[in-house]
Amino acid sequence: MSVAYINPDILIWARKRAGIDEESLFAFNKKYTDWELGKSRPTFKQAQTLAKKLRIPFGFLYLSKPPVEEKNIADLRGSF
């Protein structure tokens, strides 16, 4: 069982970005709170599943800080 050395700060950022509360992720995996606090680490497979649930690319979990997201530009084509 290989451990994924992911950044707990990214977990917090991704959870808030996805609009998912901590209780929902705790229901997903009872150790989620420990992962977010840095007390324990998920397995590689658990980290892959978590990235899908948080709707982020898997590699984002290994970033040192959250990426800067630019605001989306409205698509106004065909709205005349």
Q: Is the dihedral of CA 37, 42, 5, 66 positive or negative?
A: negative
Quick one: tokens of 52? 């899908």
Mean pLDDT of 57-67: 91
pLDDT at residue 20 above 60?
yes
| CA–CA distances in Å: residue 26 to residues 23, 34, 50, 79 | 5, 10, 11, 43
- State pTM to two decimals: 0.76
Q: CB 59: neighbour CB atoms within 10 A?
A: 8
**Looking at residue 80, what is its pLDDT?**
56
For residues 50 and 42, the answer to whether their CB atoms sit within 8 Å is yes
